[in-house]
Amino acid sequence: MLLSTKGDYGVRAMIDLAKHEGEGPVQRAEIARRRQIPEAYLDHLLAQLRRDGFIRSTRGPAGGHQLAKTPDEICLLHLLESLEGSLAPMQCLENDDPQEEAICGQDWVWQEIYDDMRAKLASVSLADLVEHEREHERERATAARYVI
Amino acid sequence: MLLSTKGDYGVRAMIDLAKHEGEGPVQRAEIARRRQIPEAYLDHLLAQLRRDGFIRSTRGPAGGHQLAKTPDEICLLHLLESLEGSLAPMQCLENDDPQEEAICGQDWVWQEIYDDMRAKLASVSLADLVEHEREHERERATAARYVI
DNA sequence: GGTATTCTCGACCATTCGAGTCAACATTGT
DNA sequence: ACAATGTTGACTCGAATGGTCGAGAATACC
């Protein structure tokens, strides 16, 4: 598994914040409930996202979290690298240790896969994820009408 | 990290067997030495490769391991899926649990990446890996001549 | 038949990582 | 003052990773 729950939950949280952009701070508890994330665990993910400048948080009553950039300025690659650290699919691509690569034998295949993967992730913005979710919701609503 | 040492070591071992095809059984100790794999650990990987029909093993003096198919009949995808189990990059792609996917929000991106990855891995054969290694060796030999 | 050689299989073990939980503390609106 | 909220670090618990080890089985060779 390349992505842990950090990358999954963290992106879910960011989608939630993007969907409620302009409505003031969104509280941890709301995000956790809507996106089915353990509240205490979400803390750590928000902390990381804050450290890397993706969100701003305010304390006190009516406090919460909001995006620090617009959704189309945030790409999935940067989000995931913030949450997960490196996304390298195998150890020998982590640092370019030529000794390790020399004996590995399949590193060149994975280097290509890694490059393609990063390119794809860089091309998807948070705005795209929100848009995709909205479309999905519309589809489900339409399907529901037919079922009724 | 998508690949553990199993996928790394196991493929190294297969490359070694492919390189010594037609020379009779290759012993565990030789593979381990040449490819820098802990000998006792290699046992488990060879066992898995045997179970899945990639190699045949013979016991006794002058015993060892050899390929059960030709190198061009074996693709990297099948090798790695034998050694690692599923290569799914995130949990919600593992089984197609529609409930999990509905809330995930980035599954569609990863589904595309996963498909591309599998296609690439399926297109690379063990013969390709050996050929690539031989080329690499020739390059290094040429470079060495210039250094001298 | 005995012995050396090699693979085979399962049990065991140490360390790290993933996924959380929790309590104490800081900040701020009312 | 106090209640609501975020912030932080310490802690836990189970599973996975990356091995090691020993008893046993097969087989070639003398």
Residues from chain B contacting residue A89 (CB–CB below 8 Å): 1-3
Q: Nearest Cα to B29, choosing from B42, B20, B15? A: B42
Q: Is A137 on the interface with B (CB under 8 A)?
A: no
Angle, helices A5-19 vs A76-84, to 10°: value is 130
Tell me if B105 and A132 make a contact (CB, 8 A cut-off): yes
Tell me if B117 and A117 make a contact (CB, 8 A cut-off): yes
CATH classification at residue B94: 1.10.10.10
- Asked whether A126 and A15 are in contact (CB, 8 A), the reply is yes
As a rounded value in angstroms, the CA-to-C1' distance for A86 and C9 is 37
Tell me if B109 and A7 make a contact (CB, 8 A cut-off): no
Number of domains chain B is built from: 1
Tell me if B3 and A91 make a contact (CB, 8 A cut-off): yes
- Say yes or no to pLDDT of A98 above 80: no
CB neighbourhood size of A20 (10 A): 18
> Where do runs of H (alpha helix) occur along chain A?
5-19, 28-35, 39-51, 76-84, 98-104, 107-122, 126-147
Chain B residue closest to A76 (CA)?
B106
Tell me if B15 and A110 make a contact (CB, 8 A cut-off): no
Residues from chain B contacting residue A1 (CB–CB below 8 Å): 2, 88-91
Give dist(CA A138, CA B5) in Å, integer.
44
- Which residues have CB under 8 Å from A83's CB, separation 6+? A6, A7, A10, A11, A45, A48, A49
Residues in chain A: 148
Residues from chain A contacting residue B92 (CB–CB below 8 Å): 8
pLDDT digits (tens, 9 = 90+) for B44-63: 999 999 999 999 999 999 99
- Say yes or no to pLDDT of B96 above 70: no
- Asked whether B105 and A12 are in contact (CB, 8 A), the reply is yes
Least confident of A109-123, B12-26, B66-80, B89-103: B89-103
3-state SS, residue B132: helix
Name the region of A64 (left: φ>0; alpha: ψ -120 to 50; beta: rest). Answer: left
* pLDDT-above-70 percentage for chain A: 95
Residues from chain B contacting residue A88 (CB–CB below 8 Å): 1
| Residue B147 confidence class, pLDDT cut points 50, 70, 90 | low
Task: Give strand D nucleotides closer than 7 A to any protein Cβ.
Answer: 3-9, 17-22, 25-29
- Asked whether A50 and A56 are in contact (CB, 8 A), the reply is yes
Of B3, B8, B113, the CB nearest to A120: B113
Question: Rounded to a whole number, what is the distance in Å from the CA of B35 to chain A's nearest CA?
Answer: 7
The boundaries of the domain holding residue A94 are 5-147
- The whole-number average pLDDT for the span B126-147 is 89
- Say yes or no to pLDDT of B130 above 80: yes
More confident residue, A140 or A24: A24
